[in-house]
């Protein structure tokens, strides 16, 4: 049978992306146009500005993704698009384009959940994951731990009750006077100070739940910062103390899940999975429980369309094509 060749489109937040993936796993091209510079002066993503920029960026990105892959429209066997969750206007730009292409080219459309795609990124350019698996999505909008029986089969183990981990990085950066997005800046400042910075107390829920919560941590940083005019070094130490706490919050929950579920693999994705301290702490946990640690290269932890094309190809191979009436949805969890 001919290998599938799927064009993926991603526009859920502030990255416009297009990619061509063959056989659901092999990345032939992946192009991303980030809007970070555009949103930086507002300290966060402005939804209407994001939608307009996606509209402008898509035509050239799609042409570039096809060119890099050495493919033409006529070679494609399917179109995949992120349809949920995300900013509704931003999502709609990708969904509308994908529907138009599917209709015009007479090839099936796959609607992809962005969180699931972040986990699927760990399947690209490598051998398939073994199940059962544990999946951690740590992005700007979500922090969720799932028990995975297969792609498409999830049971929630823990989720955040307030801020997502990436959102906490962004908010803490803002209150320390650092630029958006907060994750990469905080990681850079924290790196030389992590060993001496200590950490804030960890969150424990009385009901025994393993859920995450990051809003108290943000308040702790705000209170510490309000104590006086921070020197640069004090600010960096506070950033490192914050990052150490996030790492530890993730570590204890992942450890509890590994202990309970004893999965064969541990998958992680989302922008916060770019963070070196997070990666090495969770790699240690996975190794301690003999779970195969599968985290994509940082390029594919952040938003991209290869993860969308790959998962879309899997859905199409399983007969899960979307109707042309499919729409974008701002919310949407796994399972
Ligand atoms: O997955 P992503 O690109 O977009 C969403 O789906 O939300 O994640 C973006 C988030 C932002 O909050 C950003 O601050 C965070 O990922 N992030 C990081 C790092 N790089 C990006 N957080 C910690 N350390 C990083 N190196
Ligand atoms: Zn994302």
Q: Give the pLDDT score at 36.
A: 82
Structure tokens at 2: 């001919």
Ligand 1 atom at shortest distance from the alpha carbon of 164: 12
Q: Nearest 5°: phi and psi at 131?
A: -110, 155
Task: Tell me which residue has tokens 């509308």.
Answer: 96
Residue 256: helix, strand or coil by DSSP?
helix
Kindly list the distances between the CA atom of residue 37 and the CA atoms of 42, 60, 190, 334, in Å, as whole numbers in the listed order: 10, 19, 23, 31
The rounded Å distance from CA 206 to ligand 2 centre is 31
Name which residue sits closest to atom 8 of ligand 1, judged by CA.
271
Ligand 1 atom at shortest distance from the alpha carbon of 165: 12
pLDDT in tens, the chain (335 residues): 689 999 999 999 989 999 999 999 999 999 999 888 888 888 778 888 889 999 999 999 999 999 999 999 999 999 999 999 999 999 999 999 999 999 999 999 999 999 999 999 999 999 999 999 999 999 999 999 999 999 999 999 999 999 999 999 999 999 999 999 999 999 999 999 999 999 999 999 999 999 999 999 999 999 999 977 899 999 999 999 999 999 999 999 999 999 999 999 999 999 999 999 999 999 999 999 999 999 999 999 999 999 999 999 999 999 999 999 999 999 988 86
Q: Give the pLDDT score at 1.
A: 63
Q: Which residues line ligand 1 (CB under 6 A)?
A: 13, 139-141, 166-167, 169-170, 181-184, 187, 270-272, 274-275, 302-303
CA distance 321 to 335: 18
Q: Give the pLDDT score at 35.
A: 84
The rounded Å distance from CA 200 to ligand 2 centre is 27
Q: How many alpha carbons fall within 13 Å on the CB side of residue 208?
A: 0
Residue (of 193, 248, 257, 256) closest to 217 by Cα position:
248
Q: Give the pLDDT score at 311.
A: 98
Sign of CA dihedral 263, 305, 98, 63: negative
Q: Are 314 and 24 in contact (CB under 8 A)?
A: yes
Q: Give the pLDDT score at 45.
A: 84
Q: Give the pLDDT score at 334.
A: 85
- Pinpoint the alpha helices (H) of the chain: 36-40, 47-69, 88-105, 114-120, 165-175, 182-190, 194-197, 215-226, 232-261, 276-288, 298-301, 306-317
User: CB under 8 Å, gap of 24 or more: what pairs does 148-152 form?
Assistant: 148/119, 148/263, 148/267, 151/116, 151/120, 151/311, 151/314, 152/116, 152/318, 152/320
Pocket test for ligand 1, best of 13, 140, 178 (most atoms within 8 A of CB): 140
The rounded Å distance from CA 55 to ligand 2 centre is 19
């Amino acid at each position: 049978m001919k290998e599938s060749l799927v064009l993926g489109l991603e526009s859920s937040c502030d990255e416009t992306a297009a990619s061509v993936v063959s056989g659901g796993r092999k990345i032939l091209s992946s192009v991303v146009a980030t809007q970070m510079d555009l949103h930086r002066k507002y300290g966060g993503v402005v939804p209407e500005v994001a939608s307009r920029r996606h509209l402008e960026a898509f035509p050239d990105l799609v042409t570039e993704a096809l060119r890099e892959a050495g493919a033409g429209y006529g070679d494609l066997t399917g179109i995949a698009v992120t349809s949920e969750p995300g900013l509704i206007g931003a999502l709609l730009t990708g969904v509308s384009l994908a529907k138009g292409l599917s209709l015009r080219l007479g090839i099936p459309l796959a609607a992809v959940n962005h969180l699931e795609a972040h986990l699927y990124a760990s399947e690209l350019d490598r051998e398939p994951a073994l199940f059962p698996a544990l999946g951690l999505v740590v992005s700007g909008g979500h922090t969720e731990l799932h028990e995975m029986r297969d792609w498409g089969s999830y049971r929630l183990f823990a989720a955040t009750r307030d801020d997502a981990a990436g959102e906490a990085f962004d908010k803490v950066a803002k209150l320390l006077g650092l630029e958006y997005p907060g994750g990469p800046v905080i990681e850079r400042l924290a790196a030389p100070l992590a060993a001496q910075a200590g950490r804030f107390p960890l969150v424990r829920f009385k009901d025994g739940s393993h859920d995450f919560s990051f809003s108290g941590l943000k308040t702790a940083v705000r209170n510490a910062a309000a104590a006086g005019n921070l020197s640069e070094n004090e600010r960096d130490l506070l950033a490192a103390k914050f990052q150490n706490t996030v790492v530890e919050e993730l570590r204890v929950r992942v450890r509890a899940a590994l202990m309970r579920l004893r999965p064969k693999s541990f998958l992680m994705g989302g922008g916060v999975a770019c963070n070196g301290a997070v990666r090495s702490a969770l790699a240690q946990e996975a190794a301690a429980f003999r779970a195969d640690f599968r985290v994509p290269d940082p390029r594919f932890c952040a938003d991209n369309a290869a993860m969308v094309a790959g998962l879309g190809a899997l859905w199409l191979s399983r007969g899960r094509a979307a109707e042309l009436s499919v729409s974008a949805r701002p919310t949407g969890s796994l399972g």
